[in-house]
Amino acid sequence: MLVELIFKGGPVMIPILLLSVVALALILDRFLALWKIRLNIPRFAGDVLALLEKGDIQTALDRCDTVRHPIGSVFKTGLLNRALKAEQIEKIMEREGEKHIHSLERYLGGLIVIIGVEPMLGFLGPSPG
């Protein structure tokens, strides 16, 4: 039944199916990437702040290294540059965060293109009748 529907769609169904497979792969890739970095951020931030209040900067840095989430790297960057002015630290931390966001958004442009192109390909299918 499904195969019949695919053949009725004509040759334009080939790129539609291929793009659907690519889109699914991109979605799964991004899902797994986000799943790997999941973290209880309020708890992590509380742990780091508690260590800083105790003056235990090295343990706070080590705690930042133990997490896969980009916030660990952002916190570590802030801690390593703590001698600078607050505005400078903020800018450095923003750049670090943007770098990680860019890596997490990888391939999303391709997914957006597929989302835009696939419906247009559907219009090219055979006319009814």
Per-residue pLDDT of 63-106, as tens digits, reads: 999 999 999 999 999 999 999 999 999 999 999 999 999 989 98
pTM of the model: 0.76
Burial of 71 (0-12, 13-18, 19+ CB in 10 A): buried
| pLDDT at residue 11, rounded to an integer | 80
Helices 86-104 and 70-80 cross at an angle (nearest 10°) of 160
Q: Break the chain into its structural domains and give their ranges.
A: 11-122
Type of residue numbered 117? V
Q: What is the DSSP string of 15-39?
A: HHHHHHHHHHHHHHHHHHHHHHT--
Per-residue pLDDT of 1-17, as tens digits, reads: 777 777 777 788 888 99
Q: How far, rounded to the nearest angstrom, does the alpha carbon of residue 119 sit from its chain's CA centroid? A: 25
| pLDDT at residue 128, rounded to an integer | 61
| pLDDT at residue 8, rounded to an integer | 77
| pLDDT at residue 129, rounded to an integer | 53
| pLDDT at residue 6, rounded to an integer | 72
Q: Whole-number mean pLDDT of the chain? A: 90
Flag whether pLDDT at 48 surpasses 80. yes
pLDDT grade for 127, boundaries at 50, 70 and 90: low
